[in-house]
């Protein structure tokens, strides 16, 4: 691995990463994308997970129907980028690069064939920089090459942590070590903060996880995402939680998260509201 120069022009790229399964990565990626789009930012959402849950949630097509997907982009030439970006999604101002099962095979092929296996995404995304106001990457639940590609391309990481679970921080030191390792390739990578998911301040377990997350991960985002049945409804309806129930606590929490991210990263607003 060799250090690469920061890409220019600048577009913040936020990887939503944690190898712990089911901690809220996809929910965060989809609803943060939705809220940033609603606020007038143009957003590119990249699904790096073979499970393709983000694509199933917001895509107009079934991932199995899409040939120019994230796997094809990782393995193919830079000319594939334009074809891989699908502008039609369920979310206004949000474009999508689909994930699919093929990402699993792509990961093996990259390991065997690419001279810089962790840097394929960063290289392929270079022409999209300056085109979108922000790029979000939904990572898979592993610390293997797909996540490494996301972290090598990213400027920032958000780490969702399930605060309602006593196992919420299990293995988090492996994640911080992995981020540290990726800094050899991508020295400017910054942790934007941990995001507490399914948080209920009345519960002792949530307060204990909150303190431990602050200690182990350094920074906590100032927004807490509560538990809500609106989340699973929104997945079934293929909508954001805001569209399902804009007045709900969970929808307001994602709106606050987007406002915080937009302000922290000084995101421009180049899309219509
Ligand atoms: N705040 C919440 N309230 C209620 N349910 C939630 C909440 N956040 C996520 N969920 C549910 O928890 C499950 C896991 O969430 P999600 O898919 O976002 O996690 P993930 O980290 O992307 O999982 P994976 O590691 O498999 O990719 C989903 O069924 C989702 O609907
Ligand atoms: Mg997921």
pLDDT tens digits, 57-79? 999 999 999 999 999 999 998 89
Query: Is residue 161 within 8 Å of 16, Cβ to Cβ?
Result: no
2 has a pLDDT exceeding 50: no
Collapse the DSSP code of 44 into the 3-class scheme (helix H, G, I; strand E, B; otherwise coil) and give the result. strand
Q: Where are the domains of the chain?
A: 13-264
Ligand 1 touching residue 164 (CB < 6 A): no
Query: What residue owns the CA closest to ligand 1's atom 20?
Result: 22
- Cβ(19) – ligand 1 distance below 6 Å: no
Stretch 105-129: mean pLDDT: 96
CA distance 62 to 94: 17
Q: What is the mean pLDDT of the chain?
A: 95
Banded model confidence at residue 218, pLDDT cuts 50, 70, 90: confident
pLDDT at residue number 164: 87
Q: How many CB atoms lie within 10 A of CB 2?
A: 7
Out of 16, 26, 142, 163, mutate this one to test ligand 1's pocket (max ligand atoms within 8 Å of CB): namely 26
Q: Is 173 in the pocket of ligand 1 (CB under 6 A)?
A: no
pLDDT at 6: 47
pLDDT at 10: 87
How far is it, in rounded angstroms, from Cα 18 to Cα 140? 8
pLDDT tens sequence across 168-178 = 898 899 999 99
Secondary-structure class of domain 13-264 per CATH: alpha beta
Q: Which residue has the tokens 């199995």?
A: 64
Verify whether ligand 1 is closer than 6 Å to residue 100 (CB atom): no
The percent of residues in the chain predicted with pLDDT above 90, rounded, is 92
Check whether 1 has a pLDDT greater than 50: no
Residue 7 pLDDT greater than 80, yes or no: no
Residue 39 above 70 pLDDT?
yes
Q: How far is the CA of 22 from the centre of ligand 1 (A)?
A: 5
CA atoms within 13 A on the CB side of 218: 9
Cβ of residue 53 lying under 6 Å from some atom of ligand 1:
yes
């Amino acid at each position: 691995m060799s250090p690469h120069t920061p890409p220019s022009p600048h577009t913040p790229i936020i990887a939503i990463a944690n190898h712990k399964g089911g901690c809220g990565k996809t929910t965060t990626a989809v609803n943060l994308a939705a809220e940033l789009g609603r606020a007038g930012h143009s957003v590119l959402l990249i699904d790096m997970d073979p499970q393709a849950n983000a694509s199933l949630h917001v895509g107009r097509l079934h991932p199995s129907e899409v040939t120019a997907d994230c796997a094809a982009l990782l393995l193919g030439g830079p000319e594939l980028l334009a074809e891989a970006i699908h502008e039609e999604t369920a979310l206004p101002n949000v474009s999508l690069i689909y994930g699919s099962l093929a990402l699993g095979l792509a990961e093996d092929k990259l390991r065997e064939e690419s001279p810089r296996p962790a840097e394929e995404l960063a290289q392929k995304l270079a022409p999209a920089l300056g085109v979108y106001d922000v790029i979000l990457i939904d990572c898979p639940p592993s610390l293997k090459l797909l996540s490494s590609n996301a972290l090598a391309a990213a400027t920032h990481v958000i780490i969702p942590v399930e605060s309602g679970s006593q196992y919420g921080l299990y293995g988090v030191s492996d994640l911080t070590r992995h981020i540290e390792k990726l800094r050899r390739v991508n020295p400017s990578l910054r942790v934007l903060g941990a995001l507490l998911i399914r948080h209920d301040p009345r519960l002792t377990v949530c307060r204990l996880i909150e303190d431990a997350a602050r200690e182990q991960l350094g920074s906590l985002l100032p927004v807490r995402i509560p538990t809500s049945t609106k989340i699973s409804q929104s997945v079934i309806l293929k909508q954001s939680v805001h569209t399902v129930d804009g007045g709900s606590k969970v929808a307001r929490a994602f709106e606050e998260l987007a406002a915080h991210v937009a302000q922290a990263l000084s995101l421009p607003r180049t899309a219509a509201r």
